Structure formats: C-alpha cells, structure tokens
C-alpha cells in the first residue's frame, strides 16, 4: 500500500512539476510575445508615419506639377522636375502655319539676275529689288521689314501658330520666287509679305495690302482668300496702330506673289517717305501696335473659317 501511495505521490509530484514547467515556460513565452507585439506596434506606427510623409510629399509634387503644366509622373524624375518647373508652359498649337517674308535684303547683296515673273511666264524680272528707305530716320526698308517680321513671328507663336521666316539675316541672297517656294515647302496656310512704301511725294501716307486679282494669269484661284486675308489684316492693322487705311489693291506683276501656292498678301505698312509714318514706324511702342494689328487680322481671317 505504502509503495503504491508513494508511487502515486511520486507520479503526481512529477506531473505537478511537469505542469509547472509548462506553465512557467508559457509565462515566459507570453512575456516574450508581449515584447514582440509591443515592438511590432512600434514598427507599425513608424511605418504609418513614413507612409503619411510619403503621401504628403507626393501631394506636394502633384501640386507643383500642376502649376508647371507637367504630368505628375514626369515630376518624379529627378532633374526633369527642376527643369520643368522653371520652364513656362508650352503654348498649345492651333494647327495653322504662317510664312512671313521680310521683304528685300542688304544693299550689298546682288539680286540683279532675272527670273520669270510667274510659273511658265516668258516675262522676266530682277530676283529681288532694293526697296526704299526712311527719308527722315535713314533706316533701310529691309531692316524695318525684318524687325517687324521677327516681332510678328514671336507674337504669332504666342498665339499658337507655327511660323517660318524666308530669311534670318540681311545677307542671304534669296529671290522672290525662291521665297514663295520656301513658303510652299513649309506647308504654310498663308503667305504674308512684309514691306513698306515710298513715294516722290512726302505728303503721301498710309498703309495698304496688295493681293492677286481674280484675273491673275497664275493664281486667280487664290484671289478670294487672298482678298479676305488682305481685308482682315489692313483693317486690324490700321485700327491697332492708327496709320491711315488705304485699303486692299490688286497687283499681278509681283513675282513673289505670283509664285505663291497659298493665299498671299503684301502688307505695305506705311510710307517711309512720309515724316509721320517713317518716325512712327521706328518707335518701339508703335511697332508693338503694328505687330498686334497684323496678328489680330490673321486671327480674324482664320476665325472666319478660311
């Protein structure tokens, strides 16, 4: 009996010790798990705060990208972001192309060789002429034409046009026929030839546009649209700068017009032999109004569905 009792007590004691051991190790485990959970909670908090600041940084980038007109995707790409935020937003193209011809060229350029006055014509004319000059300011016409053409190029580009100038300096020997062909190569919708007038009579002043007539032997089919462009430009031009309006006239003996493949005008901006026109056309503020007026006329021509 005693032996049995002892055995049972021994077994019970062993069981109690074993259970205690499990319990103790469980307490240890639980303690360790609590520590783990605490550590994980801490990590979670840190991650959440990191995510929050990432989100804030992304929002800031999106805002900057919106202000500078670039896509948020592009904003994330290192240097590009800095460059893009410094650029002005690109002007949206309006799909129209304008060729501008700054009339004439430097006096030193010999343009006396002849070329046909129109496609298939036997009649020959000098490749280009020298033009007039300011009787009061002394400025040559080719310089004024170029100054206004460059300003017009910038203004039209701002308004969404694609623009081509037939010459970029005063030295290039390029004929009137060659200029018209350059405008065609460019795929221009309209061809605007910039000139200024001269007269033996210094009292003659004012501006006009010249277009091919409806009986032009080469480009009669371009008369209607050229006339519409000529009217839009001369009216807007004179309204903007205040030079007297001499209206639209027709002319069929200009090679640079006859070789054109799209609606074409010559704008005679004013008389360089008239004191008021000559001095006005050299005034920066006045020039800005001239340029605005020409661009307004071009806008109106296209807005009318041409």
Q: Which residues bind Zn ion (CB under 5 A)?
A: 103, 131, 195
CA distance 205 to 269: 10
* Cα-based angle 162, 146, 273 (whole degrees, multiple of 5): 135
Output Rg (C-alpha) for the chain, integer angstroms.
Answer: 40
Nearer to Zn ion, 156 or 272 (CB): 272
For residue 271, what are the β-bridge partners?
197
Nearer to Zn ion, 189 or 282 (CB): 282
Query: What's the closest the beta carbon of residue 105 comes to Zn ion, in angstroms?
Result: 11
Helix axes 2-68, 79-86, angle to 10 degrees: 30
CB 145 within 8 A of CB 131: yes
CA distance 34 to 54: 30
Query: What's the closest the beta carbon of residue 281 comes to Zn ion, in angstroms?
Result: 13
Query: What's the closest the beta carbon of residue 104 comes to Zn ion, in angstroms?
Result: 6
Nearer to Zn ion, 131 or 134 (CB): 131
Query: What's the closest the beta carbon of residue 65 comes to Zn ion, in angstroms?
Result: 49
Closest by CA to 256, choosing from 149, 189, 178, 176, is: 176
Nearer to Zn ion, 70 or 192 (CB): 192
Query: What's the closest the beta carbon of residue 229 comes to Zn ion, in angstroms?
Result: 18
Nearer to Zn ion, 266 or 291 (CB): 266
- Position with the least CB separation from Zn ion: 195
Our measurement of the distance from residue 71's CA atom to the centroid of its chain's CA atoms, rounded to an integer in Å, reads 19
Query: What's the closest the beta carbon of residue 132 comes to Zn ion, in angstroms?
Result: 7
Dihedral (CA of 76, 79, 80, 84) sign: positive
Nearer to Zn ion, 179 or 195 (CB): 195
Q: C-alpha distances in angstroms, 181 versus 114, 155, 255?
A: 16, 24, 11
CB 268 within 8 A of CB 233: no
User: What counts of helices (H) and strands (E) characterise the chain?
Assistant: 9, 8
CA distance 264 to 279: 28
CA distance 200 to 92: 46
For residue 165, what are the β-bridge partners?
100
Query: What's the closest the beta carbon of residue 202 comes to Zn ion, in angstroms?
Result: 18
Query: What's the closest the beta carbon of residue 141 comes to Zn ion, in angstroms?
Result: 5
Nearer to Zn ion, 84 or 207 (CB): 207
Nearer to Zn ion, 141 or 299 (CB): 141
């Amino acid at each position: 009996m005693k032996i049995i009792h002892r055995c049972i007590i021994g077994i019970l004691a062993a069981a109690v010790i074993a259970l205690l051991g499990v319990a103790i190790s469980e307490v240890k485990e639980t303690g360790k798990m609590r520590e783990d959970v605490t550590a994980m909670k801490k990590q979670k908090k840190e991650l959440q705060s990191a995510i929050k600041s990432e989100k804030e940084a992304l929002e800031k980038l999106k805002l900057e990208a919106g202000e500078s007109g670039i896509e948020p995707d592009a904003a994330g790409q290192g240097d590009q972001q800095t460059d893009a935020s410094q650029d002005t937003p690109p002007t949206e193209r309006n799909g129209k192309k304008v060729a501008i011809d700054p009339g004439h060229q430097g006096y030193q350029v010999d343009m006396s060789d002849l070329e046909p006055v129109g496609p298939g014509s036997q009649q020959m004319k000098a490749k280009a002429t020298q033009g007039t000059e300011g009787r009061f300011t002394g400025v040559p016409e080719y310089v004024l034409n170029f100054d206004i053409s460059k300003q017009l190029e910038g203004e039209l580009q701002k308004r969404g046009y694609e623009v081509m100038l037939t010459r970029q300096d005063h030295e290039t020997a390029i004929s009137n026929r060659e200029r018209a062909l350059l405008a065609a190569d460019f795929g221009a919708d309209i061809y605007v030839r910039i000139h200024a007038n001269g007269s033996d009579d210094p009292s003659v002043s004012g501006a006009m546009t010249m277009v091919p007539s409806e009986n032009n032997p080469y480009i009669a089919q371009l008369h209607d649209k050229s006339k519409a462009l000529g009217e839009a430009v001369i009216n807007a031009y004179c309204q903007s700068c205040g030079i007297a309006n001499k209206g639209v006239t027709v002319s069929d003996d200009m090679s640079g017009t006859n070789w054109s493949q799209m609606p074409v005008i010559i704008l005679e901006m004013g008389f360089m032999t008239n004191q008021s026109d000559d001095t006005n056309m050299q005034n920066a503020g006045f020039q800005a109004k001239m340029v605005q007026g020409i661009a307004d006329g071009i806008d109106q021509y296209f807005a009318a569905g041409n």
